[in-house]
């Protein structure tokens, strides 16, 4: 399996902690000797990961950017669930999924990974076309979450939504035109939130295959939220409801 560059302190540290065996080598800037670097070097040594000191220009070439913070790891891709059935069969309890329709900006995707990981969502699902792929930029922005949250791309998103419903997952689309508020729906059962591209929204077939459409109440002067912020609002509402439901039992 071909290795790829993972860069930035959060992404490299997370990869070593979760999948040290996948890390072939860590390259660090020889001129950087601060505490953060020393902590990373200590983690690499204790995990049996080889470290090579080098210069900033070489790191620039390896990462394809200067925003690597002085650390680049060469690592094999992490093996996570690769299809919907494999994912759902392994989940205990009601699934919580994030579906992204038309999100092409790698920075937005990386931020969505962080949100999904923080709230305990089981996966991010997106169509193969019109979607960002998981590259080094996504991994850096995700701060390690790209190694813990499965990213499943599908050929036909509308068909995938129908398959979710067959598995008793309630498909909730978000739309500014929806009449029902996010806070008026029960998310304690299996739930998939579908988020469309900012400004464009969901595609028609995607919207038609949702069980329910909800709107995030906007009380200020701005008209919309960044996709990762909107995803966080929805996912955390679902998590809040589930925590309350457990407390009542």
Provide block-wise average pLDDT over 10 residues at a time, the chain (249 residues): 81 85 93 94 95 94 89 82 85 93 94 94 93 89 88 95 96 93 96 89 93 92 86 97 86
Residue 79: the pLDDT is 62
- Residues in the chain, how many? 249
Residue 78: the pLDDT is 67
**Bridge partner residues of 173 (DSSP):** 194, 213
Residue 54: the pLDDT is 96
Tokens 């070489």 locate to 58
Distance (Å, rounded) from C-alpha 27 to C-alpha 30?
9
Ranges of beta strands (E only) in the chain are 4-7, 23-29, 51-54, 71-75, 96-101, 123-127, 151-154, 170-174, 180-181, 191-196, 212-215
Q: 3-state DSSP call for residue 87?
A: helix
Residue 248: the pLDDT is 78
Cβ partners under 8 Å of residue 146, min gap 6 = 11, 110, 113, 134, 138, 139
Residue 65: the pLDDT is 84
Distance (Å, rounded) from C-alpha 19 to C-alpha 170?
33
Q: Domains of the chain by range and CATH?
A: 4-75 (3.30.1330.30), 84-248 (3.40.1280.10)
Cβ partners under 8 Å of residue 29, min gap 6 = 37, 53, 54, 55, 56, 59, 70, 71
Nearest to 117 by CA among 80, 86, 143: 143
Residue 176: the pLDDT is 87
Tokens 């400004």 locate to 199
Residue 201: the pLDDT is 85
């Amino acid at each position: 399996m071909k290795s790829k560059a993972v860069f930035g302190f959060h992404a490299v540290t997370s990869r070593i902690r979760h999948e040290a065996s996948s890390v072939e080598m860590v390259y660090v800037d020889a001129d950087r000797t601060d505490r953060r670097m020393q902590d990373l070097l200590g983690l690499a040594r204790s995990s049996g990961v080889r470290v090579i000191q080098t210069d900033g220009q070489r790191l620039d070439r390896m990462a394809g950017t200067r925003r690597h913070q002085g650390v680049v790891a060469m690592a094999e891709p992490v093996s996570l669930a690769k299809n919907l059935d494999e994912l759902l069969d392994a989940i205990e309890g009601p699934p919580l999924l994030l579906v992204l329709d038309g999100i092409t900006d790698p920075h937005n995707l990386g931020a969505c990974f962080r949100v999904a990981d923080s709230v305990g969502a089981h996966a991010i699902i997106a169509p193969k076309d019109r979607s960002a792929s998981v590259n080094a930029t996504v991994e850096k922005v995700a701060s390690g979450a790209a190694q813990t949250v499965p990213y499943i791309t599908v050929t036909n998103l509308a068909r995938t939504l129908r398959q979710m419903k067959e598995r008793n997952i309630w498909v909730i689309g978000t739309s500014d035109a929806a009449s029902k508020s996010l806070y008026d729906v029960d998310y304690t059962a299996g739930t998939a939130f579908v988020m469309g591209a900012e400004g464009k929204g969901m595609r028609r077939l995607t919207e038609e295959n949702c069980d329910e459409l909800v709107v995030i109440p906007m009380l200020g002067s701005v008209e919309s939220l960044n996709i990762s912020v909107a995803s966080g609002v929805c996912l955390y509402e679902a998590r809040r409801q589930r925590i309350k439901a457990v407390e009542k039992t």
